[in-house]
Amino acid sequence: VTDVLRRLKYWTESARRGEALRQEMELHLAEKAAELQEAGMTAERARAEARRRFGNVGLKQEESREIWMTQFLSELGQDIRYGLRTMAANKAFSALAVLLLALGIGANTAIYSFMESILLRSLPVADPESLVVLNWHSRSPQEGSKEWVIHGLQGMFWPGDKGALLTGIFPYPAFETLGEENPVFSTLFGYFNGHNRNLTVRGQATSAGAEYVTGDYFRGLEVSPAAGRLINSEDDRAGAAAVAVISFATSQNRFGGPPNAIGQSILVDNIPFTVIGVTPPEFFGVDPAAAPDLYLPLHTNMLTDGARAARMYGDGNFYWIEMMGRLRPGVSMAQAQAALAPRFHQWVVTTAKTGGERANLPALILNPGAEGLGSLRRQYSKPLYVLLAMVGLILAITCANIANLLLARAAARRREMAVRLSLGAGRFRVVRQLLTESVMLASLGGTFGVLFAIWGVRSLTLLLSNGQENFTLRAELNWKVLGVTAALSVVCGLLFGLAPAIQSTRPDVMPALKDGRGGGPRRRAQHVLVVAQIAISFLLLVGAGLFVRTLNKLHSIQLGYARENILLFSLNARQAGHRDPEMATLYANLRKRLESIPGVSGATFSQSSIISAGMAGGAYRGTMKIGTVSIAGAGVMAAGARFLTTMQIPILAGREIDERDQTGSPPVAVISERLARTYFGNENPVGRRITLEDEKRDLEIVGVSANVRYGGLKQGSSMTVFTAASQFSPDRVTYALRVAGDPLRYVRSVREIVREADSRIPVTNVFTQAAEIDRTISREITFSKLCTGFAVLALLIACVGLYGTVSYSVARQIGEIGTRMALGAQRGAVVWMVLRRVLLLAAAGLAISVPAALIAFRLVKSFLFGTQPNDPGILAMAAVVLLIAAILAGYAPARRASRIDPLAALRHE
Amino acid sequence: MGRKAQKNDSLPGSLDMLILRILSRRDLHGYGIVQFIQQSSDDELLVEEGSLYPALQRLELNGWIDGVWGVTSNNRRARIYKITAAGRKQLAVETRKYAKLTLAIARVMGAE
């Protein structure tokens, strides 16, 4: 063994050895030259003479290197040639193994490439490691006092540890305070997501994602323009010329290349801007989820968003701007936090006006910014880990299976191994050769796996994006991913090859030479591997059951409104320059025009689709009262005429909102049945009033609708107040057309009509109602499809393993079975004897797997709906499916066993 | 290990045997070995000096000698080679083989 180690060391240290050898030869030449010089030669001649006597230095180095390389390589070559011959001799086995491995490794590669793109990739800017994101956390105001220093906000919160709230939005004065004479940041820059804006280029209007950025944004990120120049601090001042930077893709799509875009004027929400620069192609801002088309100086939001935006700058209690800093060289994130947290605290104390507000102040924390903002990570990391666990299990099952097949084959090769060992081959040498074979199998599997992964990434992207426009999640097979795949293949090869290799080279060669049959340990190993496969298949079956049940439950939810034959699309007339009350008229007239399209039986609009109403927020968020009673937990939705009819929501009393409800007419509301029952009991609510405290106006209830799932499928509330869109005038509306046939057939007519009304208004978010609803449960759809596929695959692999193992042991027992049958055993008894073993193996697998499933699936509880991780029905169903599959896999060999001719069997013995 | 030792081109007076013999007396670096061979053979045996290094690698790979970095008599950093126990055994084998061979050659030459 020491010999092996020494050779291994030789090989691994070859680079260092090469260097040592070079030094040694140089020394030799120097000494020789020195000696010759002493003997009277000139320095130059001495050096030449030394070289002449030495011979060809390069050649000698080559020769020396070869001495330690050739043996390893020639042996490897031998092994590979031998491996190829073995593979060719067992084509069926090799093909099966390579196919299984390709599926297993490919699935892992596909999922991993998503993880790499979401969780591990850095922003494509200079030195991303020195970027930090500024966040703060605090207790949520609901617990304890309701008072909070945050009086208004625009942005996202996400849950932190122990019920804390985390966010990255700050008041503008906080940004200024933190930026002053900052000892830890070389730059501090701010930005906020402007969401979709109306971008008009040469009269063509489209919807474009906008990011508002401070003057130091591009300097801080150290990005250089693809053309023109980027926004600087001169541009980001109130009153400065309105300039814009556009993304590389936008410059290509809208201007035909970066140089053409520079100096062009564009309209953003109908405000003129001048394009001054184009970002480099790889740049996507700081949020991998966003990829804006437009970058605008922060202060230009006063132009696009009006007076509301101007107020935000001075308000220390309005939270909206997000920040990133670049650390000065040598400053750590912890040092920066220690320096800035007290400064932020001192500032935020001054914005608290009451004791209650002072009791729960936001506390600054810094997070690494190298990977950008974490919205994608927060959204996808857990689902990806779950998927990775699943494909990991598939690969484990594959390895177990191939190990099993190899063990069975090792029986056949035991004689060969014994011969080689007894002829003096080292055991290590033989194991190494066997391992080379299995790594070769795995590498082939990995190669085909990459092809499978390319397909997998493509279909997974399709599945995840679910028809979304500008879906930013782009996974790709880069070198990092391929490296991991290669490593995975080698590890798999070693994993499934090692046990069989060691087994088949056990030193007790004599019995093997005598009869060529394996002993007990191998069968035990085979059984362990089969049990493991069954246990893993069961886990995946239960997973599939849970996710399919979840999806079924979601699909069977009573929406209370029409799902089929509805076309949805969104318009934002305000961004095209329209203002109230003319905007309300525009929307109402457009509704009438759309209703006249042949095949359209009804047209209406509302502030958003019903399913996404929760996300978009209600038309009114303040306190509502009926008399003196406040209404709790009701959603307000502004809707146009004929909303209930078009959506097929039954009208239970009174009327729906219609053409009568104009801007100037008395404000009205239609309430849902549950709201009516809760606050009016059995009285008729029609004619009663709802008071909107914040707007100081009353709505007259004119009708009662049936209950609808308002907002998301899972948390749909049925307490709904429909108000007239003409009296609430949302900026952005979603139209709904009730049509005959495929809704998407009407998209062209819709675009035409909207263009006629005003060509500056782009038509966005075109979906069928069904797709819009499915979009909210895309994760559940993805999971149930994938997991079902994985479970079927796992079950198939496990059955192949079971079949192989049982066939093998039947073959070994031919003698015993023959004897039994000669002694009068019935065929049925023989079948049962074999099947009993199958069932025992399956039972052992289940015994391990049921508790494991109960523990493991608790982790994915948040992914489930309408079912529990320990749902006994699903566990039972998975067990039944598994047992049936096991019996099917075991039946063929069992039948074969029962057909054994006792005479032949005994003769064989 | 069922592997054969690295082949050495065993002509009489093979370099490997000479190196092992020299190192069995004292530890030396590469240049020192060449000098020693030339001096002790009165410059009769002219080694192509570069060939020494592949030979040293071969001996080291077979575990017969061991090289460590050290300092030469005139204070230069060099790899100093030592003979190992296995090397001594090999030297004995080669010496016997050599003795037999030269004897055989001598017999043939003397049989004229």
Cβ separation A4–B58 shorter than 8 A:
no
Question: What is the percent of chain A with per-residue pLDDT over 90, rounded to a whole number?
Answer: 37
Cβ separation B50–A59 shorter than 8 A:
yes
Q: What angle do CA B36, B42, B48 make, to 5 degrees?
A: 60
Residue of B nearest to A428 (CA): B1
Of the candidates A32, A68, A429, the beta carbon closest to that of B31 is on: A32
Residues A164-183, buried b or exposed e (16+ Cβ, 10 A)? ebbbbbbbbbbbebbbeebe
Q: How far, in Å, CA of A344 to CA of A64, rounded?
A: 66
**A22 touching B, CB under 8 A?**
no
Tell me if A865 sits within 8 A of A783, measured CB to CB.
Answer: no
Residue of A nearest to B71 (CA): A27
Confidence class of residue B1 from pLDDT cuts 50, 70 and 90? very low
Q: What is the DSSP letter of A580?
A: T
Of the candidates A4, A25, A425, the beta carbon closest to that of B2 is on: A425
Sheet of B65-71, strands arranged across: B28-29, B77-83, B65-71
Which of B7, B34, B49, B61 is the best substitution to test chain A (most A C-beta atoms within 10 A)? B49
User: What residues of B are in contact with residue A27 (Cβ under 8 Å)?
Assistant: 29-31, 76-78
**Amino acid identity for residue A893 in this structure:** P
State how far residue A440 is from chain B, nearest Cα, in angstroms: 24
Range list of β-strands (E), A661-800? 668-672, 689-692, 697-705, 720-724, 732-739, 764-768
Which of A16, A54, A73, A433 is the best substitution to test chain B (most B C-beta atoms within 10 A)? A54
Q: Is the pLDDT of residue A516 over 50?
A: no
State how far residue B72 is from chain A, nearest Cα, in angstroms: 10
Scanning A331-465, the segments in alpha helix (DSSP H) are 333-351, 355-359, 375-422, 427-465
Which one is predicted more confidently, B58 or A567? Answer: A567
Over residues A813-831, the mean pLDDT reads 83
User: What residues of A are in contact with residue B29 (Cβ under 8 Å)?
Assistant: 24, 27
A208-239 confidence digits (pLDDT tens) = 999 999 999 999 999 999 999 999 999 999 88
In the numeric block, which tokens belong to residue B62? 């077979």
Residue of A nearest to B7 (CA): A67
Over residues A703-717, the mean pLDDT reads 82
Cβ separation B53–A21 shorter than 8 A:
yes
User: What residues of B are in contact with residue A426 (Cβ under 8 Å)?
Assistant: 1-3
Residue of B nearest to A57 (CA): B50
Confidence class of residue B3 from pLDDT cuts 50, 70 and 90? very low
Q: How far, in Å, CA of A884 to CA of A314, rounded?
A: 71
- φ, ψ dihedrals at A692, nearest 5°: -95, 100
**A13 touching B, CB under 8 A?**
no
Residue A862: Cβ-neighbour burial (10 angstroms; 0-12, 13-18, 19+): exposed
Confidence class of residue A517 from pLDDT cuts 50, 70 and 90? very low
Which of A117-126, A278-287, A407-416 bottoms out in mean pLDDT, i.e. has the lowest?
Answer: A407-416
Q: Is the pLDDT of residue A65 over 80?
A: no
Q: How far, in Å, CA of A819 to CA of A810, rounded?
A: 13
Q: Is the peptide bond before A272 cis (omega within 30 degrees of 0)?
A: no
Element containing residue A266 per DSSP (H, E): strand A265-268
Which residues lie below 8 Å from residue A106, measured CB to CB, with a gap of 6+? A448, A449, A450, A451, A452, A453, A455, A456
Other beta carbons less than 10 A from residue A233's beta carbon: 14
Confidence class of residue A520 from pLDDT cuts 50, 70 and 90? low
pLDDT at residue number A344 = 94
**Amino acid identity for residue A223 in this structure:** V
Of the candidates B1, B57, B72, the beta carbon closest to that of A68 is on: B57
CA-CA-CA-CA torsion sign (A812, A818, A821, A827): positive
User: What residues of A are in contact with residue B54 (Cβ under 8 Å)?
Assistant: 60, 63-64, 66-67
Which one is predicted more confidently, A406 or A142? Answer: A406
Overall size of chain A counted in residues: 909
Q: How far, in Å, CA of A321 to CA of A171, rounded?
A: 6
Of the candidates B1, B49, B57, the beta carbon closest to that of A55 is on: B49
pLDDT at residue number B10 = 41
Tell me if B30 sits within 8 A of B78, measured CB to CB.
Answer: yes
**Amino acid identity for residue A680 in this structure:** F
Which of A11, A26, A27 is the best substitution to test chain B (most B C-beta atoms within 10 A)? A27
Confidence class of residue A8 from pLDDT cuts 50, 70 and 90? low
A761-811 confidence digits (pLDDT tens) = 999 889 999 988 888 888 888 889 889 989 998 898 888 888 888 887 887
Total beta-carbon pairs less than 8 A apart between chain A and chain B:
78
**A53 touching B, CB under 8 A?**
yes
pLDDT at residue number A518 = 46
Q: Collect all residues from B whose CB is shorter than 8 A from any CB in A.
A: 1-3, 6, 29-31, 34, 48-51, 53-54, 56-58, 61, 63, 69, 72, 76-79
* Helical packing angle, A375-422 and A427-465, nearest 10°: 160
Residue of A nearest to B54 (CA): A64
Scanning A90-181, the segments in alpha helix (DSSP H) are 91-115, 172-179
CA-CA-CA-CA torsion sign (A237, A239, A240, A245): positive
Confidence class of residue A746 from pLDDT cuts 50, 70 and 90? very high
**A7 touching B, CB under 8 A?**
yes
Range list of β-strands (E), A154-225? 157-159, 164-167, 169-170, 185-201, 204-213
Q: What angle do CA A355, A360, A364 make, to 5 degrees?
A: 130
If contacts are CB pairs under 8 Å, which of residues 396-455 in chain A contact chain B? Answer: 424-426, 428-429
The overall longest dimension of chain B from CA atoms, in Å, is: 54
Residue of A nearest to B69 (CA): A20
Which of B9, B31, B51, B71 is the best substitution to test chain A (most A C-beta atoms within 10 A)? B31
A548-584 confidence digits (pLDDT tens) = 999 999 988 888 899 999 999 999 998 888 888 889 9
Confidence class of residue A858 from pLDDT cuts 50, 70 and 90? confident
Q: Is A209 helix (H, G, I), strand (E, B) or coil?
A: strand
Cβ separation A67–B31 shorter than 8 A:
no
Q: What is the DSSP letter of A373?
A: -
Element containing residue A616 per DSSP (H, E): helix A613-616
pLDDT at residue number A259 = 92
Of the candidates B1, B49, B78, the beta carbon closest to that of A27 is on: B78
State how far residue A17 is from chain B, nearest Cα, in angstroms: 10
Of the candidates A55, A424, A425, the beta carbon closest to that of B51 is on: A55
Cβ separation A60–B58 shorter than 8 A:
no
Over residues A419-435, the mean pLDDT reads 77
Over residues A64-86, the mean pLDDT reads 75
Scanning A660-699, the segments in alpha helix (DSSP H) are 673-680
Q: How far, in Å, CA of A537 to CA of A643, rounded?
A: 49
Q: How far, in Å, CA of A255 to CA of A267, rounded?
A: 14
Average pLDDT, chain A: 86
CA-CA-CA-CA torsion sign (A786, A788, A791, A797): negative
User: What residues of A are in contact with residue B30 (Cβ under 8 Å)?
Assistant: 24-25, 27-28
State how far residue A513 is from chain B, nearest Cα, in angstroms: 20
Which residues lie below 8 Å from residue A23, measured CB to CB, with a gap of 6+? B77
Tell me if A293 sits within 8 A of A246, measured CB to CB.
Answer: yes
Other beta carbons less than 10 A from residue A876's beta carbon: 11
